[in-house]
Structure 1
């Protein structure tokens, strides 16, 4: 049972992903970027470390279909589910505790998180793997668990830089509890060495490029994190895993206060310090999701022990299992993109007070931002292809496709990957490393939601070819403009913008 039940839940989690996305939606903006990074393998990128790009490369090598793109978040979600249920069993929980822990993971914010090909799914898996290793060592004192911890930290650093905050929380938790004895264990530092060795290539890449991570954090603070209010952050912590509140909240309190869980007090402090650090730094609310799965396991075991002494145990157990399921069903339209865009827009009055329709700009919109970011991309790519096809043969070979942001360029490249046309480019994000030479440029296709009309006289001919019209897409109104035979002023302007962008990222 200790192995079969976790495996059964993992399979359920993996398979369920295929039924939680409506065909009305496409891939999400960031997913296209990570796939595009998979075509330019390196030890680092301006946005993220290299692990997500390696997964993108594999997906593209297998054909690049949406099923292969979604394979990764489904896999990491299933892996996290396995560890959640397995951890409940390792803590002494029986079938009820393991089932309750699995249901909590299935019915909380991870249902949505594990649908998107982003670093977040592996981050949650990695954090839980580290805490699983810590629990395993505290139970058995076998060094293999320390190296599992080191492996999780090393891969986590290759996946997302927020792992640094987790490491800080882990260090603080060890110092504040009897688990500090680990700091004098040679294999603990051996595991730390494994983590550093895994991360080292990315560190060298950062150093060789002027540590662009610092510039990336500065941009986030100026454009996105500036809208993160403390009250909204804590409200989101309540809402993201609200269906499982009756489990994770007692789990956290038990970790910090209960005598039975005293050996694992450091685990509880990792959660407190990690989430507190993110709140202090105005991190996005979902950055904290990786700290909750471990609480499902501890909370489920706590409940099983309490109900064992309850007279109506046989009634209480199914009732407790039903709570997260019922609450999850009530908020399922927000958790997963199952309903069409029009239906989701109609539901806005019901859910708007939860902040679900509030975007990074701090304003409410017709759809949740993730949903709006999953629309209009194929239309944009097809219209860009049509614009390219409309060009005369004399200029087609020297065409530059210039996009205002990485989402546009990445999506155009994804949907046109089997068509004979040049790749789309941008001066946004990591695309600055892949921007082509302009020496043979004879035509420019500009994809921009705010095109500069003053540039038209600098082309021998210029015309608006098409516009993205999907009413629910975040890219609605993006224009596709064709300019033939640009003059030197336009080309020099692009070169200057490229040099300026590169210098700002590389600290020059």
Structure 2
């Protein structure tokens, strides 16, 4: 009887005007600021990976590099051109959040407030500004949540096809989507409505997923599943820190006001009889958190699920804001949260002003500054190689950010294509064995005496503004030669993290 009532329930109208206004403001702000600072190190890597389109990469599936290639091909290989697709994904995400609010019975006010609260969280602001796998994952998680809620509310098994397609797209972007699938599956098994599992449409949805992920899994299998090696390295290196920060960051990422809203949403899904059909969503959150804590996953991995809880909590919070004093207190906290989100997530400060609290809160801001300067410093070191030897000399970098920067900016300094053993740069191959000249090494790897001979540090990177980012004071080392052909030493140069 409960399922029948839910199925026939009419939903409120879509609040196109207020939600559209929130989306338009987000679009304008992100577009206006998308060209400030510069590429993030990951973005430089995505641009490079997009020039080597494949069904997989050492550390990721193909969707984000493919989107990077598409966006830069249409809009230009600039930060602005690359980030068009990130901006569109962010706008789509908050529109989906408004639809989630409607799915839970939210009226026009609840829909646009849900969209606004989601859009203004520091995490959402930060990942919306630049293209990353997390930017796309955020949209995919919210889409999956919306489609699952539609399935649970209506009982219409045909939604399994859409769910299967979204899971397949998620697997093509980041395998983290499986954690959400597991959490939702546990929720449905425990709280139902389990009737949605007793249909052949479920098998059809699974088939859709398998078809979409088949070429990706074939690529990973053919390359010994390098993504699993990368994931284990992240857990081993950062697992303890991630576990310590996990719970506090669930409150920080959405701002205190946003945290109050998602907590209210979690409690409402547990307690409200009219939303009993959606209780699986509430169950999924603790399940996802437990999995991530065990695995040592990064605290932000669960944030897209918090976005799905926000629409459930808006109405209770609005009901609570019945007095002027309460509205004033919340208004102050909201204003502070918005200011912090903008300052720490968007490039509004001059780059020299990022040192200190901003980088402490969001170090990714600093990773968007200094790449042209790094390339210029490498170019100056390159001139120390006699001109007659440069045709057989090599630039080798320790990480993909350095390699991506030199690949992008290097032609302006007459630098050759760089090489690196980091992530998929290793897959793209070593220099030719005919490259027997000097090796200019950017960063600290490789400094093994058995691989390089006659090495001395000739410079340290200076970004010109004293910004304390990851590449500050990076050593630039000039080696006379390798001790064996590149094809021989290349396997020893691979780095997964």
What TM-score do you get using the length of structure 1 for normalisation? 0.85
Greater shift in the superposed pair: 117-126 or 314-323: 314-323
Q: CA deviation at 1:252?
A: 0.8
Cα deviation digits, residues 404-433 of structure 1 (max 9, x gap): 112211121122356654311111111111
1:265-287 Cα distance to aligned partner (Å, 9 max, x none): 11211222112221222211011
Match of 1:209 in 2: 223
- Is 1:469 matched up with 2:462? yes
C-alpha distance in 2, partners of 1:450/1:170? 43
Partner SS for 2:258: helix
Q: Tell me by how many angstroms 1:330 deviates.
A: 4.6
User: In the TM superposition, what is the alpha-carbon distance from 1:315 to its structure 2 partner?
Assistant: 9.5
Distance 1:457 1:129 in 2: 50
Map Cα deviations across residues 244-268 of structure 1 (whole Å, 9 max, x no partner). 1231111111112211211111121
**Residue 297 in 1 paired to residue 311 in 2?**
yes
> C-alpha separation between the residues in 2 aligned to 1:208 and 1:171?
30
The one of 71, 75, 78 equivalent to 2:91 is 78
Structure 1 portions without partners, runs of 5+: 359-367
Out of 124, 134, 156, the residue aligned to residue 120 of structure 1 is 134
Cα distance in 1 for residues equivalent to 2:452 and 2:55: 42
d(CA) in 2 for partners of 1:314, 1:457: 70
What residue number does 2:438 align with? 443
Deviations 1:287-325 (A, max 9, x none): 111101111111124445x36xx9x58997898677534
Stretch moving more, 450-459 or 183-192: 450-459
Distance 1:68 1:434, change over 3 A: same
Secondary structure at 1:9 match in 2: helix
Q: Which secondary structure does the structure 2 equivalent of 1:228 belong to?
A: helix
Residue number in structure 1 paired with 2:260: 246
Change (3 A) 1:6 1:149: farther
| 1:54 CA drift (Å) | 0.3
Which residue is 1:400 aligned to? 394
Alpha-carbon distance in structure 1 between the residues aligned to 2:27 and 2:82:
13
Q: Indicate if the aligned counterparts of 1:6 and 1:83 stay in contact, CA closer than 8 A.
A: no
Q: Is the 8 A contact 1:467 1:480 kept in 2?
A: yes
Q: Which residue of 1 aligns with 2:417?
A: 423
Structure 2 gaps, min length 5: 1-13
What CA RMSD, in Å, does the superposition of the two structures yield over aligned residues?
2.9
1:2 aligns with 2:15: yes
Counterparts of 1:297 and 1:318, CA distance in 2: 22
- Partners in 1 of 2:353 and 2:491 — Cα distance? 45
| Corresponding residue of 2:250 | 237
Q: Distance in 2 between matches of 1:335 and 1:390?
A: 40
Summarize the Cα distance change of 1:225–1:2 in structure 2 as closer, same or farther, 3 Å threshold.
same
Structure 2 distance, partners of 1:331, 1:478, is: 30
Shift of residue 162, structure 1, vs aligned partner: 0.9
- Asked if structure 2 preserves the Cα contact closer than 8 Å seen for 1:13 and 1:81, the reply is no
After superposition, the Cα gap between the structure-2 partners of 1:338 and 1:144, relative to the gap in structure 1 and judged at 3 Å, is: farther
SS of the residue 2:416 aligns to: coil
What is the CA-CA distance between 1:179 and the residue it aligns to?
Answer: 2.3
Q: Deviation string for 1:92-136 (max 9, x for gaps)?
A: 322221121022112212111211211001111111101101122
In 2, Cα distance between equivalents of 1:477 and 1:314: 53
| Map of 2:109 onto structure 1 | 96
Separation of aligned partners in 2, 1:381 and 1:341 = 18
Kindly indicate whether residue 381 of structure 2 is the aligned counterpart of residue 369 of structure 1: no
Native 8 Å contact 2:167 2:177 kept in 1: yes
Quote the residue 1:150 is aligned against.
164
Among candidates 450, 453, 458, match of residue 453 of structure 2: 458
Query: Does structure 1 residue 479 correspond to structure 2 residue 492?
Result: no
1:61-111 deviations in Å (ceiling 9; x for gaps): 232111121112211111111111122233332222112102211221211
CA-CA distance at 1:59 after TM superposition: 3.0
Cα distance in 1, alignment partners of residues 158 and 333 from structure 2: 37
Choose which of 379, 382, 390 in structure 1 pairs with 2:376.
382
Matches within 5 A, 1:10-159: 10-20=23-33, 23=36, 25-62=37-74, 63-108=76-121, 109-159=123-173
Seen in structure 2, the aligned counterparts of structure 1 residues 322 and 457 have a Cα distance that, compared at 3 Å, is: closer
Distance in 2 separating the partners of 1:99 and 1:315: 23
Q: Measure, in 1, the Cα distance between the counterparts of 2:179 and 2:340.
A: 33
1:267 alignment partner in structure 2: 281
SS of residue matched to 1:345: coil
Provide the rounded CA distance (Å) in 2 between the counterparts of 1:29 and 1:131. Answer: 30
In the alignment, which residue of structure 2 is the partner of 1:225? 239
Number of matched pairs: 476
Shift of 1:455: 8.2
Q: Is the 8 A contact 1:127 1:290 kept in 2?
A: yes
Q: Distance in 1 between matches of 2:206 and 2:328?
A: 43
Contact kept in structure 1, 2:125 and 2:341, CA below 8 Å? no
Distance, in Å, in 2 between the alignment partners of 1:319 and 1:10 is: 26
Aligned to 1:362: none
1:257 paired with 2:271, answer yes
Deviations 1:146-196 (CA, angstroms, capped at 9, x unpaired): 222112111111101111211211221121122222222111221121112
Q: The residue matched to 2:273 in structure 1 has which SS?
A: coil
The Cα shift of 1:389 comes to 5.6
